[in-house]
Amino acid sequence: MSFLDNINAAVRRKIHQREIDESLRHFEHHTGHEAETKQTFADMGTFRSQVDRLFSLGNAAETAEAKKIAESTIGSTLTNRYYRAADYLSDVLDELERHSYLTGEPLGEPPLPSLSERFERELKLKAVTEAWLVPLKVGAIESSVTRHAKIIGRLLPYAALQRYERAVARLFALADESEQTLIRDHLESLLERWRHAEPVRTRFPEPADAVNDAIACLNGESTPDGISYVRARRADAAVRLSTVVPEDRQHYLNASLARWNVEP
């Protein structure tokens, strides 16, 4: 971040100081933790640091949306052991800051900081909040991370579990709620195969690598096998999970996840 960007971020935080303070009080009231304290399993900084980052991204017109994002992360992670509010909010902010493919727009959704038109910023915020701020998805992420801890155990360093959490969060964000069970089953199968099959470990040094490989397919960055007949909803759209016709969506998802099935 440039010196000028740092100044602009500091100014925006000052403008939003009341909303920041309210978000932090909301966190401390509901969790019983200090917002400045790094939590046991978090590796993405404190909740306070992520809230500062959140309000640095937004402008005055987006104050209510930013506050909603901060408070939604708290309610969605209250009962989670691994996927804590600071990590969750960091993941949401990462998605706001990168190019995403969530709505079916042919070119995707550019990073929020690169957008100046209000309608473009509203589209990006709406796409990310609708994909990420879903309590059931957060529960599915937590369940998958817990399975990683149990199945993989100490075969990999703890940082691998953190990378897996980040990757799984992105995977569930791309999927519809109706697809959660399918993905969760594939993830558990991946963990078991990785644990017991050397060819899988050879291709994917850790489970997070396999998940990121599937994400690349779902975002249209690489092509899974067996999708020659899959159709996009618009002629000008690249084929990716968000652009395929509803009838082909599950097939495209299965083809992307099938790349984990490395034969012994």
What does the pLDDT look like over 179-196, one tens digit per residue? 999 999 999 999 999 999
Residue type present at position 102: L
Residue whose C-alpha is closest to residue 185's, from 250, 229, 102, 100: 250
Helices and strands, number each (H, E), in the chain: 12, 0
Instruction: Name which of 251, 174, 256 is nearest 217 in CA terms.
Output: 256
Q: pLDDT per residue over 99-156, tens digit each?
A: 999 999 989 999 999 999 999 999 999 999 999 999 999 999 999 999 999 999 999 9
pLDDT, tens digit, 9 for 90 and up, residues 153-169: 999 998 899 999 999 99
Q: Kindly report the pTM of this predicted structure.
A: 0.86
Separation CA 78–CA 113 (nearest Å): 29
Calculate the CA 162 to chain-centre distance.
13
**In the predicted model, is pLDDT for residue 199 greater than 90?**
yes
Tokens at 202, concatenated: 């050879």
Lowest mean pLDDT among 18-27, 66-75, 197-206: 18-27
Query: Which tokens sit at 239?
Result: 């084929």
Tens-place pLDDT, residues 21-64 = 777 676 776 676 766 666 555 556 788 889 889 988 878 788 88
- Report the pLDDT value the prediction gives residue 5, as an integer from 0 to 100: 57
